[in-house]
Amino acid sequence: MTSSSPPNAVEMKDIVIRFPGVLANDHVNLTLKQGEIHALLGENGAGKSTLMNALAGLYKPVSGVMKVHGEDVNFNSPKEAISKGIGMVHQHFMLVPTQTVTENILLGLGEPKFFMDLAKYDQKIRDLQDQFGLRVDPSALVWQLSVGEQQRVEILKTLYRGADILIMDEPTAVLAPQEIDELMNTMRSMTEQGKSIIFISHKLNEVTAVADRLTVLRKGVATAEGIGVEGLTGEKLAELMVGRKVIFSVEKKAQEPGAVVLDVRDVSAENNKGVPALNKLSLNVREGEILGIAGVAGNGQSELAEVITGMRTCEGSIFINGEDVANCEPSKAIERGVAHVPEDRTGVGSAPNMTITENTIMKNYRDNPIGNKWSINFTEARSHARGLKDAYDILAPSVRTMARKLSGGNLQKVILAREITTNPKLMVAMQPTRGLDVGAIESIQRLLLAQREEGTAILLISEELDELLTLSDRIAVLHEGEVMGILDAENADVKEIGLMMTGMKRSDA
Amino acid sequence: MNLPYTVIFEKRTADYPKWLPAVTSLVSVLVAFIISGIVLKIIGGDPLRVLKFFFTATFGSWPVFSDTMVKATPLIMVGLACAVAFKMKLWNIGAEGQFYMGAFFSSLVVLVPMVNLETTPKFIVITLMIIMGMIGGAIWGFIPGYLKAKYQVNEIIITLMLNYVALYWNNFWIFDKWSDAGFQMTPQFEKIAWLPRLSDLAKEYRQFSGITLHLGVVFGIIAAIIIWWILERSHWGYEIKLIGDNPQAARYAGLNITRNLVLVMMLSGALAGLAGMSEISGVVHRLQEKISPGYGFTGIIVAWLAKLSPFAVIIVSILFGALIVAGREIQPSGLSNLLQGIILFMVISSDVLLRYKIRLVRLEQEA
């Protein structure tokens, strides 16, 4: 060691990773200094995850040098990476839904050996939570947790294993604004306590808010290597990522909303745990209007979408064009012209092992010309799917590609394309842009606005305040299953929305 | 010791070509024969002679091939029964019981008798037996289907237990009520209730004499065509596959899952019931104990080896029919079970080739 400062946490030099036909990483360098938050940016498929998987021991680079704490490493398995203190928080959670938080954290560890003695470990995990400010009930079953809470479990898992270099793969993609702030605080407190973090993200504002330096990848090549975040503009970053200028504001045309399509009156419902999630909630959406629903995750948003689309039972009435559809089957809602872009696109919105074609006909396989009396005309179905693939710019080898092989953005386009072609009167869109890259977000948002111009009533549930502000006509803020108030999006005050999200009722509501 | 090469398993990123599953399955069967040959060699046998005998005893001439097909016939229908249910991830392991109930119900036509066997035309008697057999199997599929749909009762347990109920229900009738002179079988059915055989035509065509192949094989093939059409072309088949792949998405798409659950179990039961009917009307010509050497369970294996594809079910059934016939001809008969087991292992392991590309890579020289 010739340098006087402590060695860098991670040094990756000239990393080359090749997949059949693809050069995923082309001589990439990345240096993570001790105690810093280093952001790694790039569009989907830019090679960020590949690079990080190499660091986590999942892939082996064809060539290049990796050093951890100044020591040459050559990982053959994730286990070796973990033993060097590298922990990865994956974008797709790797948790056992039927087990408790503690059980999930202990899974695969040498201890406890035979008797579980969960109470003891619950306490250990609570201490860890206090240290870093990651709140989640250790004895809760994972399937009952919100996505944000599940992520905290993932982070706790790596911390419990003693990681001091954390790789966080798009951790904010699944979080509400408050949760994001909380996470950023956690990240800062982690670096203060000596951890170093690589933070993968799509979101420019978060990167500038929390990261010290950043590296940008585009098509496997680093377009920026470890530059400081000061003075960087969103436009500049977007250009580095996409390789062209990105238009940030999608244009919303001024238009007068028409008749009321959706009228929710005094609806109450329970969540999966049997706890009240909606409490006498009322709201309405009109033709050609986007009503945005803001709120911290787990305040009744999922349940609201589900009661309207017939996937959850409730008390109260839900009128769609004057007909009460509360407690009807989903088929009834579909019949009444309700399209649904579900929160969970892989678990609910699509069938992973079926083709794009089969996924696009999910709601019109009985209708002419795709459906005959008993059968499905697959030639017709394929050409329908091909039409959608072209019109919505879905990137896939062919319409015979399985849904599970699509990237998040392309899968979301498949779902949106399918829902839009049903000519909906009402569209319930839950988190439609979550986890997507800048380009995909832009096109999904455009599609929603085009629907609005068509006269569709849209209920847009999102945890991105910026998205709600740009797209919505009005914004309703949800807190513990109640509407705290409804504001005009045009002159809405972000601070006021923030206060309402924490439970302050609007004075004139 | 370090080898200069290493084998790399690469996850397939692109879709594999459509013909690949067929090729890997075929190669696995070949490999299974080779491994069996090695085993034979080790225990001191002559593998080539045994294998040659295996083929002559099962495919060597029209009469033995007919025997193979007779054994394949119930397997086709039972295999289809399992394939349909498995497509929806309904684990119907009660095909055996549904087979017995199909046999019992179709026997009612003769044993009650439901029609005047002297005057009714053969065509009507057989048709009635088909319908009754399918109803019997469908009832035995309805029970677990309904219980699952209504009360979320696990279908594996119910179908498994109903197998025994069906077996002992049959025993009750053949031991007691309809016993033929105290034997565990009913009297032989009147000829009118027999499925036509090729040997029936021996008078006109001498070459058919002694060939026991019966009309049941046609039922099996027609059933395979219909099931293929249902699964690959119909609304219903699309629903079955969607529910099987992701029930959440199916519910979201507005499908009636509970109704489909009951219907698919009934269809599955009806197919197994048809197999039971074909077996008593085409082969044994009476209701008796042990009409099935475990066809219902072999059907599960057939369905999986066929990757749930109806036409592949026919091919796999013929292979398994041959193994059953060979088991009779080759001593020790365990050889045929050995081959069955190895085939199963090979075909199931060959799935790795569908999910991974396997490459041999030369290691770079260490500096």
- Domain CATH number, residue A488: 3.40.50.300
Kindly list the residues from chain B whose CB atom is less than 8 angstroms away from the CB atom of residue A348: 246, 248-249, 252
> pLDDT tens across A62-85, in order?
888 898 888 888 888 888 888 888
Where does a domain end: A186, A218, A242? A242
Same domain, A453 and A380: no
> pLDDT tens across A307-341, in order?
999 999 999 999 999 999 999 999 999 999 999 99
pLDDT of A232 reads 77
Same domain, A354 and A306: no
Where does a domain end: A422, A442, A473? A422
- Please check whether residue A345 lies inside any domain of the structure: no
Same domain, A136 and A264: no
| H or E element in which residue B163 lies | helix B155-172
Kindly list the residues from chain B whose CB atom is less than 8 angstroms away from the CB atom of residue A354: 241-242, 245
Same domain, A478 and A401: no
Walk me through the domains of chain B, giving residue ranges and CATH numbers: 1-45+335-367 (no CATH), 63-330 (1.10.3470)
pLDDT of B322 reads 92
Same domain, A306 and A450: yes
What is the C-alpha separation between B265 and A320, in angstroms, rounded? 36
Closest residue by Cα to residue B346 from B11, B51, B9, B30? B30
Band the pLDDT of B256: cuts 50, 70, 90. very high
- Please check whether residue A2 lies inside any domain of the structure: no
- B152/A contact by beta carbon, under 8 A: no
- Please check whether residue A202 lies inside any domain of the structure: yes
| H or E element in which residue B233 lies | helix B216-233
What is the C-alpha separation between B88 and B240, in angstroms, rounded? 5
- Please check whether residue A3 lies inside any domain of the structure: no
| Tally of structural domains, chain A | 3
pLDDT of A246 reads 58
B290 with B107: CB under 8 angstroms?
no
Return the higher-pLDDT residue of B79 and A503.
Answer: B79
CA of residue A269 relative to chain centroid, distance? 25
What is the C-alpha separation between A46 and A242, in angstroms, rounded? 10
pLDDT (mean) for A394-410? 86
pLDDT of A509 reads 43
| pLDDT above 70 as % of chain B | 95
Alpha carbon of B246: minimum distance to chain A alpha carbons (Å): 5
Same domain, A219 and A118: yes
Contact B15 A362 (CB under 8 A): no
Contact A351 B14 (CB under 8 A): no
Query: How many beta-carbon contacts under 8 Å exist across A and B?
Result: 80
Partner residue facing B235 (CB), from A335, A376, A401:
A376
Same domain, A151 and A257: no
- Please check whether residue A344 lies inside any domain of the structure: no
A123 with A105: CB under 8 angstroms?
no
pLDDT of A255 reads 86
Same domain, A107 and A86: yes
Q: What average pLDDT is seen over chain A?
A: 86
pLDDT of B241 reads 95
Same domain, A508 and A399: no
Band the pLDDT of B154: cuts 50, 70, 90. very high
Tell me which of A19, A77, A328, A374 to substitute to probe the interface with B (most B C-beta atoms closer than 10 Å).
A374
Alpha carbon of B356: minimum distance to chain A alpha carbons (Å): 13
pLDDT of A267 reads 94
- Please check whether residue A225 lies inside any domain of the structure: yes
> pLDDT tens across A185-219, in order?
888 888 888 889 999 887 777 888 888 998 988 88
Where does a domain end: A242, A273, A295? A242
pLDDT of A498 reads 77
Contact B246 A378 (CB under 8 A): no
Tell me which of A17, A53, A362, A401 to substitute to probe the interface with B (most B C-beta atoms closer than 10 Å).
A362
Cα–Cα distances in Å, from B362 out to A71, A223, A417, B352, B359? 28, 33, 46, 22, 10
| H or E element in which residue A206 lies | helix A204-210
- Greatest alpha-carbon span in chain B: 93
pLDDT of B263 reads 97
Same domain, A105 and A123: yes
Examine the pLDDT at A100 and tell me if it is beyond 50.
yes
**pTM confidence score:** 0.78
pLDDT of B365 reads 44
- B307/A contact by beta carbon, under 8 A: no
What is the C-alpha separation between A299 and A129, in angstroms, rounded? 22
pLDDT of B270 reads 98
- Please check whether residue A1 lies inside any domain of the structure: no
pLDDT of A508 reads 53
Return the higher-pLDDT residue of A294 and A248.
Answer: A294
A354 with B245: CB under 8 angstroms?
yes
Parent domain of A412:
350-422
- Please check whether residue A198 lies inside any domain of the structure: yes
Return the higher-pLDDT residue of A215 and B18.
Answer: A215
pLDDT of A247 reads 57
Could you please report the per-residue DSSP string of A67-105? EETTEEE--SSHHHHHHTTEEEE-SS----TTSBHHHHH
- A161/B contact by beta carbon, under 8 A: no
pLDDT of B13 reads 62
What is the C-alpha separation between A31 and A247, in angstroms, rounded? 31
> pLDDT tens across A107-166, in order?
877 777 777 778 888 888 888 888 887 788 888 898 888 777 888 888 888 888 888 899
Same domain, A312 and A436: yes
pLDDT (mean) for B98-125? 93
pLDDT of A79 reads 84
Band the pLDDT of A5: cuts 50, 70, 90. low
| Number of other CB atoms surrounding residue A135 within 10 Å | 11
Q: Tokens 């993200």 belong to which residue?
A: A201
Q: Exposure of B27 by Cβ count < 10 A (0-12 exposed, 13-18 middle, 19+ buried)? A: middle
What ipTM, to 2 d.p.? 0.84
- B242/A contact by beta carbon, under 8 A: yes
In the 8-state DSSP scheme, what is residue A419?
A: H
CB within 8 A of A399, min separation 6: which ones? A355, A356, A357, A360, A382, A385, A386, A389
Same domain, A118 and A230: yes
Return the higher-pLDDT residue of A322 and A44.
Answer: A322
- A355/B contact by beta carbon, under 8 A: no
Contact B241 A309 (CB under 8 A): no
Examine the pLDDT at A176 and tell me if it is beyond 70.
no
Kindly list the residues from chain A whose CB atom is less than 8 angstroms away from the CB atom of residue B231: none
Secondary structure string (H, E, C) spanning A218-252? ECCEEEEEEEECCCCCHHHHHHHHHCCCCCCCCCC
A199 with A40: CB under 8 angstroms?
yes
What is the C-alpha separation between B303 and B231, in angstroms, rounded? 14
